[in-house]
């Protein structure tokens, strides 16, 4: 039981003293980067899906 209490005490101490939290501005910048990357990747996947769809329809119409 002592090991569990020590674990929680050390975890709390690490959380309060060693962890550095981002500032509000850093958090906003990181969020915008994630949103932009998500939009770019989504556009790439949608483009590949469209091209594949058109190509397969063309091939199926030939046969």
Q: What is the pLDDT of residues 4-22, one digit of tens each?
A: 999 999 999 999 999 898 9
**3-state SS assignment for residue 19:** coil
Structural domain of 34: 22-63
- Mean pLDDT, the chain, integer: 95
pTM beyond 0.75, yes or no: no
> Residue 6 domain-assigned?
no
Contact of 61 with 53, CB cutoff 8 Å: no
Number of domains in the chain: 1
Each residue's pLDDT tens digit, 29-53: 999 999 999 999 999 999 999 999 9
Render the burial of 34-54: b for 16+ CB within 10 Å, e for the rest: eeeeeeeeeeeeeeeeeeeee
């Amino acid at each position: 039981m002592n090991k569990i209490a020590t674990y929680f005490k050390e975890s709390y101490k690490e959380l309060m003293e060693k962890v550095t939290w981002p500032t509000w501005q850093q958090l906003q910048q990181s969020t915008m980067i994630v949103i932009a990357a998500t939009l770019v990747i989504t556009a790439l996947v949608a483009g590949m899906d469209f091209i594949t769809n058109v190509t397969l329809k063309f091939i199926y119409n030939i046969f």
